Amino acid sequence: MCLAIPAKILNRRQDNISKVDFGGVIKEVDVTLVPEASVGDYVLVHAGFAIGVVEEKEALETLELLRQMAEQSDASDGEQDGAS
Partner 1 sequence: MHQTVNRMELHKGIDPGSRYSKALLEKILLEDIEHLSFMEVCGTHTMAISRFGIRRALAGKIELHSGPGCPVCVTDDAEIDLAIRMAGEFKATLCTFGDMMRVPGSSSSLLMEKAMGSRVVVVYSPLYALDIARQEDRQIVFLAVGFETTVPSIALTIMRTKQEGVKNLSFLSLNKVIPPALNFLCENREVRIDGFILPGHVSTVIGVKPYEFIPRRFGIPCVISGFEQADILSSILMLMDQNKRGEPEVRDQYFRGVRREGNLKAQEVIEEVFEPCDSRWRGIGMLPLSGLKLKDKYKDFDAMERFNVKPQVVYSSQVKRACKCGEVLIARIKPPQCPLFAVSCDPEHPVGPCMVSTEGTCAAYYKYERAGV
Partner 2 sequence: MKGQEFSVSEDVITLSHGSGGLVSRELINNVFVKKFSNAALSRLDDFANVGKVGGNLIFTTDSYVIDPIFFPGGDIGKLSVCGTINDICMSGAIPLFISVGLIIEEGFLIEDLLKISRSMAATARRSGVRIVCGDTKVVDRGKADKIFINTAGIGKIDGSPIYGSGAMPGDAVIVSGFVGDHGVSILSRRSGLEFSTSLKSDCAALDGLVKDIIEFKNDIHAMRDPTRGGIATLLNEVAKQSGVSVFIDEKDIPIRDEVNAACEMLGLDPLYLANEGKLVVFADKRVATEVLSLMRKNKLGKDAANIGEVTDMIPPRVYCRTQLGTTRLLDMLSGEQFPRIC
Chain residues 29-68 in contact with partner 2, contact rule CB under 8 A: 45-47
- H or E, element range at 5: strand 5-9
Binding-site partner at residue 54 among partner 2, partner 1, none, CB < 5 to 8 Å by type: partner 1
The answer to the question of residue 26 lying near partner 1 (CB under 8 A) is: no
CB of 26 or CB of 39, closer to partner 2: 26
If residue 6 lies in a helix (H) or strand (E), which one and from where to where?
strand 5-9
List, in order, residues 6 or more apart from 52 with CB less than 8 Å away.
4, 33, 34, 43, 44
* Residue 12 partner contact from partner 1, partner 2, none using kind-dependent CB cut-offs of 5 to 8 Å: none
